[in-house]
A and B are shown apart, each in its own frame.
Chain A
Amino acid sequence: AQSVTQPDIHITVSEGASLELRCNYSYGATPYLFWYVQSPGQGLQLLLKYFSGDTLVQGIKGFEAEFKRSQSSFNLRKPSVHWSDAAEYFCAVDQFEGRGSTLGRLYFGRGTQLTVWP
């Protein structure tokens, strides 16, 4: 089974500061990797995803993430945080083995709660 680790339960940054949220996964092959954001009382919104190719992927709201195979990591970054970025962030892994297998099974980390100081 897959596992996804988000080591930081809660992070606090000042508005305008840079941000990095960590995510590590365990899987033998290259998985599909996702970051989702959940604002208070809201559902899940996809920020970005990685399947293959360029290891630095750009997402919405100015976020980017870098896949590092050697470290089994997929860390989320943003150069300048806005107060509206305060939310909970989830890293997720999809174990893709082709059509008809476990396609559709997402394994989520426990989330990182981001607080932004004005």
Chain B
Amino acid sequence: EAQVTQNPRYLITVTGKKLTVTCSQNMNHEYMSWYRQDPGLGLRQIYYSMNVEVTDKGDVPEGYKVSRKEKRNFPLILESPSPNQTSLYFCASRGPSTDTQYFGPGTRLTVL
């Protein structure tokens, strides 16, 4: 089954404790993205990657890092999480021959 998976689905952590949210897709897609969703703001893109070792900032990249060492994986790294990064995070992927982004199930992060 074609899918995008994220782990963990729920995470509660404390300020300053580094964390990684993993994202993996099994569709051999080149393009992957991270979004955060906040009430009243919709979804905003954090980072995106057009291929292995090619990443670029989205609209709200501050406080986040990404890496794309393998085509299927696109982890989101919070080196020093802060409470304003409490949000719902979605990973998405899309292939060059498809016209639709596939979204993961979301990761709800709470930073205390």
Contact = CB atoms under 8 A, between A and B. Distances in A.
* A interacts with B: yes
Interface of A: 1, 4, 6, 9, 32, 34, 43-44, 46, 49, 51, 90, 92, 94, 99-100, 103-111
Given A43-B106, A49-B99, A103-B94, A108 B44 contact: yes
Given A43-B90, A43-B106, A44-B90, A104 B101 contact: yes
Most chain A Cβ neighbours within 10 Å, of B43, B45, B94: B43
28 contacts: A1-B59, A9-B40, A32-B99, A43-B104, A43-B105, A43-B106, A44-B90, A44-B103, A46-B100, A49-B99, A51-B99, A90-B43, A94-B101, A103-B31, A103-B50, A103-B94, A104-B33, A104-B92, A105-B33, A106-B35, A106-B43, A106-B45, A106-B101, A107-B45, A108-B35, A108-B43, A110-B40, A110-B41
B48 to A, nearest CB: 6
A91 to B, nearest CB: 9
A105 B48 contact: yes
Chain B interface bracket (under 10, 10 to 19, 20 to 34, 35 or more): 20 to 34
Contacts, number: 57
Contacts of A105: 33, 45, 48, 58
Given A104-B50, A104-B94, A105-B48, A43 B43 contact: no
A34 B101 CA distance: 10
Contacts of A92: 43
Interface in B23-61: 31-33, 35, 40-45, 48, 50, 58-59
Contacts of A110: 40-42
Interface of B: 31-33, 35, 40-45, 48, 50, 58-59, 90, 92, 94, 96, 99-101, 103-106
Nearest to A1: B59
Contacts of A43: 90, 103-106
A9 B40 CA distance: 8
